[in-house]
């Protein structure tokens, strides 16, 4: 079934029916999600439709499934070059060139990336550079591709399963995805020069993908994320201390102004921009999230551990000392908060009814 869908998808692509090809490749992936070739080919369909962040995500998935597939690196580089992420594109091209040294397009595109990077750094005059051809495809697809590059557009945002918000400081942007009860191993976050890719695949829940082209460039090596009980918090390190007027890139947004970091007072609160006309009370949202974490209903050992943590957190110094001493000396069978009682004597173990306390010799 998946093979038949893949064949139909290729035929649709060759006939320039890119949306149909994209849909057929998606159906084939649903049946065979471990085949790297499907993701690489869907990446090319996304490139033709200018769904560039989706194309990068598909190419990354193909590389994850088959790190030796050279055309996956080529397609990642093609999408990144259209997004003007030349450092990321160059890294992908260098890896692809090592896998397919006979393919001349890798070296040509690496040179073009280097020229664009030099131009960004002010090392070459802009008028001496040629236009970067961004409509690049793998060897197998050369016969079916028009040489005219597609116009640059911004991909439409993916329908969100979870709500997300963001705020910023002069040196970083903090993105919060409100996803409750997600195991950390089900979350994957990737960073590009100007791309954030978040995938959440939790058992029993709809898959979630959030892949915006960011307002400004970031430093991937300095970015990090944490998966908490009620949210996923992602911290993006800004490449430049500019003010982001939105989280996602838009061709209509004016060039932002640099923030004078030295002029920001130490006690000044960070700004909390929002694309919504109604002002968002971030302090209220933070208080609500903390309340949800506190009131979260757990079962079994998790509920018991939370109960003990809450007692310890709210206890005074003597009560904490009593809890630590009684728990250790009783081998985990007694937990007391009365320091006057346990502080003057050794706490003996007290096993549950029907059980016997034994001392182990080492």
Phi and psi angles of residue 178, each rounded to the nearest 5 degrees, phi first = -85, 85
Q: And the tokens for 168?
A: 């910023």
Strands (E), the chain: 163-168, 172-178, 187-191, 196-200, 208-210, 224-227, 232-237
Judge contact between 45 and 38, C-beta under 8 A.
no
Higher pLDDT, 110 or 271: 110
Strand order in the sheet with 163-168: 163-168, 172-178, 232-237, 224-227
Mean residue pLDDT of the chain comes to 78
Percent of the chain exceeding pLDDT 90 equals: 23
Judge contact between 217 and 236, C-beta under 8 A.
no
Distance (Å, whole) CA 24 – CA 250: 30
- Residue 129 is predicted with a pLDDT of 44
pLDDT in tens, 229-239: 888 999 999 99
Architecture of the domain whose range is 1-121: Alpha Horseshoe (1.25)
Distance (Å, whole) CA 285 – CA 299: 26
- Residue 304 is predicted with a pLDDT of 67
Judge contact between 347 and 336, C-beta under 8 A.
yes
Phi and psi angles of residue 41, each rounded to the nearest 5 degrees, phi first = -70, -35
Judge contact between 198 and 208, C-beta under 8 A.
yes
Distance (Å, whole) CA 200 – CA 156: 19
Q: Which residues contact 199 (CB under 8 A, 6 or more apart)?
A: 57, 187, 188, 189, 207, 208, 209
Ranked by mean pLDDT, the top range of 36-40, 79-83, 145-149 is: 36-40
What Cα–Cα distance (Å) separates residue 52 from each residue in 92, 174, 194, 213?
A: 15, 23, 12, 9
Q: How many helices (H) and strands (E) does the chain have?
A: 11, 7
Q: And the tokens for 123?
A: 């090392």
26 confidence band (pLDDT: 50, 70, 90): very high
Q: And the tokens for 79?
A: 């999408």
Judge contact between 60 and 190, C-beta under 8 A.
yes
pTM over 0.85: no
Judge contact between 326 and 311, C-beta under 8 A.
no
Task: Flag whether pLDDT at 160 surpasses 70.
Answer: no
Distance (Å, whole) CA 47 – CA 25: 14
What Cα–Cα distance (Å) separates residue 41 from each residue in 62, 182, 322?
A: 9, 30, 64
Q: Which residues contact 12 (CB under 8 A, 6 or more apart)?
A: 18, 20, 21, 24
pLDDT in tens, 55-108: 899 999 999 999 999 999 999 999 988 888 888 889 999 999 999 988 888 988
Could you count the other beta carbons within 10 Å of the beta carbon of residue 25?
Answer: 28
Q: Which CATH class is domain 162-236?
A: mainly beta
Tell whether the torsion through CA atoms of 227, 91, 74 and 62 is positive or negative: negative
- By three-state DSSP, how is residue 333 classified? coil
- Residue 195 is predicted with a pLDDT of 87
> For 122, which DSSP code?
T
Distance (Å, whole) CA 362 – CA 358: 13
Judge contact between 113 and 93, C-beta under 8 A.
yes
Q: Where do you find CATH 2.60.40.790 in the chain?
A: 162-236
Q: Where do you find CATH 1.25.40.10 in the chain?
A: 1-121
Percent of the chain exceeding pLDDT 70 equals: 76
Distance (Å, whole) CA 302 – CA 300: 5
């Amino acid at each position: 079934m998946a093979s038949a869908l893949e064949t139909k998808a290729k035929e649709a692509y060759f006939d320039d029916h890119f949306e149909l090809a994209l849909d057929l490749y998606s159906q084939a992936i649903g049946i065979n999600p471990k085949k790297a070739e499907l993701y690489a080919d869907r990446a090319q369909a996304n490139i033709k439709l200018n769904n560039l962040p989706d194309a990068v995500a598909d190419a990354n998935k193909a590389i994850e499934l088959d790190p030796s597939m050279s055309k996956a690196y080529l397609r990642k580089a093609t999408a990144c070059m259209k997004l003007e992420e030349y450092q990321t594109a160059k890294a992908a091209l260098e890896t692809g060139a090592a896998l397919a040294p006979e393919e001349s397009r890798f070296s040509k595109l690496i040179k073009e990336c280097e020229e664009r990077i030099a131009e960004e750094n002010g090392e070459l005059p802009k008028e001496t550079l040629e236009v970067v051809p961004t409509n690049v495809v793998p060897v197998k697809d050369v016969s079916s591709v028009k040489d005219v590059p597609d116009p640059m557009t911004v991909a439409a945002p993916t329908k969100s399963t979870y709500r997300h918000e963001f705020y910023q400081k002069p040196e970083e942007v903090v993105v919060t995805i409100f996803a409750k009860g997600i195991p950390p191993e089900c979350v994957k976050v990737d960073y590009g020069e100007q791309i954030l890719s978040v995938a959440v695949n939790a058992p029993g829940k709809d898959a979630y993908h959030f892949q915006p082209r960011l307002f400004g460039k970031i430093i991937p090596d300095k970015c990090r994320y944490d998966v908490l009980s009620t949210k996923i918090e992602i911290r993006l390190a800004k490449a430049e201390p500019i003010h982001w007027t939105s989280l996602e890139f838009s061709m209509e947004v004016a060039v932002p102004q640099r923030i004078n970091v030295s002029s920001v007072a130490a006690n000044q609160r960070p700004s909390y921009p929002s694309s919504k006309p109604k002002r968002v009370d971030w302090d209220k949202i933070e208080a609500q999230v903390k309340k949800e974490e506190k009131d979260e209903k757990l079962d079994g050992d998790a509920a018991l551990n939370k109960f003990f943590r809450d007692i310890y957190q709210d206890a005074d110094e003597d009560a904490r000392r009593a809890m630590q001493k009684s728990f250790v000396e009783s081998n985990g069978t007694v937990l007391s908060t009365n320091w006057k009682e346990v502080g003057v004597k050794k706490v003996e173990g007290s096993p549950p009814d029907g059980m016997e306390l034994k001392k182990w010799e080492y």
